[in-house]
Structure 1
C-alpha cells in the first residue's frame, strides 16, 4: 500500500523553513521540494542492515548493568531544580 503524499509536512517545510510564497510552493514539483529539503537537512542515513545490527549486538551485548559514566536522568546543565 502506498502512503499518501505528506502535504502537511511539505507545506510546513516550504512555508516555514524555505519561506516560499504560496505561488512558488505550488509551482514546485515534489521532486524539486525533495531536493530543497535535502539541501537544507542533508541526505537521510540508510537504515542499518540486519547483519550490521547483529554484529553490533555481538560486539556490545546488553549486560543489564548501567554503563560507567553514563548519565541517568535529566542533564543538570540544562534542567534546574525549583530551588534555583
Structure 2
C-alpha cells in the first residue's frame, strides 16, 4: 500500500473540488495537494475576518484635518466646480481651453 488516503482524496477531488474522474485520475499527488491548498496557510480574508481586524485596529480620526482631506492637502474638490462656467483651470485671466500658452 502507498499510505495515501484514497477514499479521502477521492472525496476531496470528486466531491469538494468537483473534478471529473478523468481529471482527478490524471492529476499527480502534488497537483491534487496544490488544488486542495495547504491547511497551514493563512485563511483568506472574508467579511468576518475583516470585521475582526477592524475591531482590533480601529481607524482613529485625525486631529485638525478636514474629513474630506486625503492627507496630501487635496480634498477632492475641483476649483470652480458647481459654478456656471467653472471647473478645472478656472483661474483669473484664463478661459476654458486656454492652456496659458504652454
The answer to whether the superposition gives a TM-score over 0.5 is: no
TM-score (norm 1): 0.43
Higher helix share: 1
TM-score (norm 2): 0.36
Q: Which has the higher contact order (CA 8 A, sep 6+)?
A: 1
